[in-house]
């Protein structure tokens, strides 16, 4: 057991570093959950591909995230739940179907997806601690978003959802 104090010290520092936001990270309060994420990195990646992605959206009359009351007036207690659901939605459905012939765009999508995956893990830890409970209102709002998404073919829905990422990011910034 000679190395155990050193191991314990390194492990403690590692855990502490994972809890500390890195440069450019912001702390978001989603109900009882506090999550750090690099909004600057996500926004920069999205801004770099926004025009390209939005030009691929053939349906301009429908919105997946802006449907009346989708994200507006979400109770503070429901923010963790709906944010977790939205990040899961983007990771499991949207990013998987957003591939283009442009490798630059694909790299940016992959980078954004990795940021979402990391944040979803953090929100998942909150859920495991029962700090991220889903109320009826957030469940209904998310069902509406899914219905909007599933009303389109997979590729169109994914591109539209990615093109609307700024709506989600703006909502998150406002709910900070």
Lowest mean pLDDT, pick from 7-11, 24-28, 131-135, 165-169: 7-11
**What is the overall mean pLDDT for the chain?**
84
Lowest mean pLDDT, pick from 19-28, 35-44, 94-103, 135-144: 19-28
Residue 94 has a pLDDT of 96
pLDDT band of 87, cuts 50, 70, 90: very high
Q: For residues 123 and 28, is the Cβ–Cβ distance under 8 A?
A: no
Which CB contacts under 8 angstroms, 24+ apart, belong to 99-106? 100/52, 100/56, 102/52, 104/48, 104/49, 105/49, 105/52, 105/53
Q: How far apart are CA 176 and CA 163, in angstroms?
A: 22
| β-bridge mates for residue 37, sequence order | 26
pLDDT digits (tens, 9 = 90+) for 58-83: 788 888 988 656 787 788 888 889 99
DSSP for residue 40? H
Average confidence (pLDDT) over 27-35: 87
Has residue 3 got a pLDDT over 80? Answer: no
> pTM for the full model?
0.81
State the virtual CA torsion across 21, 26, 29, 32 in degrees, nearest 10: -10
pLDDT digits (tens, 9 = 90+) for 115-156: 999 999 999 998 888 878 888 888 888 998 999 999 999 999
DSSP for residue 76? G
pLDDT band of 32, cuts 50, 70, 90: confident
Q: Measuring CA to CA, which residue among 35, 47, 30, 25 is closest to residue 162? A: 47
Residue 111 has a pLDDT of 96
Residue 2 has a pLDDT of 52
End-to-end CA distance of the chain: 46
The domain total for the chain is 1
Q: Which residues contact 148 (CB under 8 A, 6 or more apart)?
A: 62, 63, 64, 65, 67, 70
Q: Output the domain CATH number for residue 66.
A: 1.20.1250.10
Q: Which domain holds residue 151?
A: 4-174
Residue 62 has a pLDDT of 85
């Amino acid at each position: 057991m000679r190395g155990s104090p050193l191991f314990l010290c390194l492990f403690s520092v590692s855990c502490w570093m994972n809890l500390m936001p890195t440069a450019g990270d912001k702390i978001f309060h989603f109900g009882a959950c506090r999550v750090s994420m690099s909004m600057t990195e996500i926004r920069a990646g999205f801004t770099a591909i926004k025009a390209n992605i939005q030009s691929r959206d053939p349906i301009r009359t429908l919105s997946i995230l802006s449907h009346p009351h989708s994200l507006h007036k979400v109770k503070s207690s429901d923010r963790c739940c709906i944010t977790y659901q939205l990040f899961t939605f983007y990771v499991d459905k949207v990013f998987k179907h957003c591939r283009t012939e442009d490798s630059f765009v694909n790299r940016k999508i992959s980078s954004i997806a990795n940021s979402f995956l990391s944040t979803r893990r953090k929100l998942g830890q909150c859920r495991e601690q029962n700090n991220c409970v889903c109320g009826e209102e957030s469940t209904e709002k998310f069902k509406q978003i899914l219905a909007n998404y599933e009303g389109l073919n997979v590729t169109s829905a994914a591109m539209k959802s990615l093109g609307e990422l700024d709506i989600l990011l703006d909502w998150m910034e406002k709910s900070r």
